[in-house]
Chains A and B, each alone.
Chain A
Amino acid sequence: MPIVQPGKRPARRFARSQVFGGKAVARRRGVNADLNVVPMVDIMTMLVIFLLQQFSATGEVLYLQKDIKLPDAHHGQPIEIAPVIAISGEHLVLSGRKVADLAELEKDPFLPIPALEERLRDERKRWEFVHQRDPARDRAWRGEVNLQADVRVPFRVVKRVMYSAAQAGYPNVNFATLEAGSQALAAK
C-alpha cells in the first residue's frame, strides 16, 4: 500500500469529470527523483588523489610514541625496515620489548649493555635463519638498526646503545627523525 498525502478523496467517477475544473484529482507525479551526484564524485576524486599522494608503500616502520619526541631533519632518507631501538626518558626498548631502565643504565659505569647485545644477537640469528638458503646472504646483510630516541636523551646513552649494536653485528645506525615539513603535523 503506497503512502499518499492526506487530502480530498473524490469518488472515482469524478476523477475525469470537469465539474470541479479537473482540480479535484491531483495529477500523478513520477516516482523517480533525479539526484545530481556529480559534486560527490568530484569530491571523492579529489580525496583519492590527495590520499594517493600521501600513500607510502613501506607503511609505518616506526610508530611515534607519546614519550618520545623526535628531532626534525631536512636531509633525511626514507626509512627502511630494521630492528627498532627506542630510547625514551625512562626505558630502553628493542622491537617493542623493554630491555632496561634508563636510571639503571646511568648507574652502570660500563660501556656495553649486555641485555641489548643479547637481544640484537637473537635478532641477527633470526635473520640468518630466515635467509639461510639465500646465496647472497652475506651481501644482503647490512647490519642496520633504527634508533628512535627522545630529543633530550644524552649522547652517553646513545653512545652505549651504538656500541652494543656494533658489538652484536649492527654497526650502521639509522637515527630516526621527523621530516622538517611534517613536524608541525605531528605536533598537532
Chain B
Amino acid sequence: MAGTTVAEQGGRGRRRSLDLTINVVPAIDLLSCCITFLLVTAVWTQIARLQVSQYGSGPQSGGQRSAVTITLRLSPTGHVLQLSTGQDITVPATGKPGDVRPDYAALAARLAELKQRFPDQSAITVAAEDTVPYAELVHTIDACVGAGLASVAVTGGAG
C-alpha cells in the first residue's frame, strides 16, 4: 500500500506498535493535479515590454516641463545626445568598417552621467534614422530606461 511509517514514541504503559501508517495517496493525487495544471498553464518564455510614446502625444507634451530637453539621435554610425542647452555628446559605434556595432555600454555611462546632472529629468526623445533596425532601437531604449530616463518618446527624422 502507498503509505509511510513514522516511528512512534511509546509510553511506559502498555506496549504499543511503533509503526504508524500515513496514507499519502490523497497527497499524491493533489500533487499530480497541481503538476498537470501548472504544466498546461506554464509560460516558458518571459516576454517583457518597453513602453514608449509617439513624440508629441505622450506626457512630454503635457504641462510638466523639465529644465532640459534631451534628444538621443540614433544612426548606424552611433549615438548623439543633444541637450537643449546646446551641448552635444557623441557616442560613436565600435568595430571595423562593415561590422559596426553601437556601443551601448558607453551610451549607458553617458546617460547615467546626464541623470546625475539632471536628477529630476525622466524624459528623453529618441530620434532614429529610417534604416536603423528594430533591435538597435530597442537596445537604445533599454539603455535609456536603465539610466532612469523612463519616459521615452520615439520619433523619426534623425539628422
A interface with B by C-beta (< 8 Å) = 32, 34-38, 40-41, 44-45, 47-48, 51-52, 54-56, 59-62, 64, 70-71, 73-80, 87, 144, 146, 149-156, 158-159, 162-163, 165-166, 171-179, 181-182, 185-186
Contact = CB atoms under 8 A, between A and B. Distances in A.
Given A44-B32, A176-B49, A55 B58 contact: no
A152 B42 CA distance: 29
B48 A153 contact: no
A37 B4 CA distance: 7
A38, A87, A162, A181: most-surrounded residue (chain B CB, <10 A)? A162
A177 B50 CA distance: 7
Contact of A154 (B53, B131, B141, B154): B131
B24 interface: yes
Contacts of A64: 45, 47
Contacts of A179: 46-48
Interface string B53-66: 11001100000000
A41 B133 CA distance: 50
A138 to B, nearest CB: 16
B42 A51 contact: yes
A150 B136 CA distance: 11
Contact of B146 (A62, A74, A144): A74
Main secondary structure on chain B at its contact with chain A? Answer: mixed
Interface string B22-44: 00100110011011001101111
A178 B49 CA distance: 8
Contact of A35 (B1, B52, B129): B1
Given A40-B28, A71-B138, A172 B35 contact: no
A17 to B, nearest CB: 35
A32 B57 contact: no
Given A54-B43, A55-B41, A155-B137, 6 more contacts: A64-B47, A155-B132, A174-B49, A175-B51, A178-B47, A186-B44
A44 B2 CA distance: 15
Interface string B72-86: 000000000000000
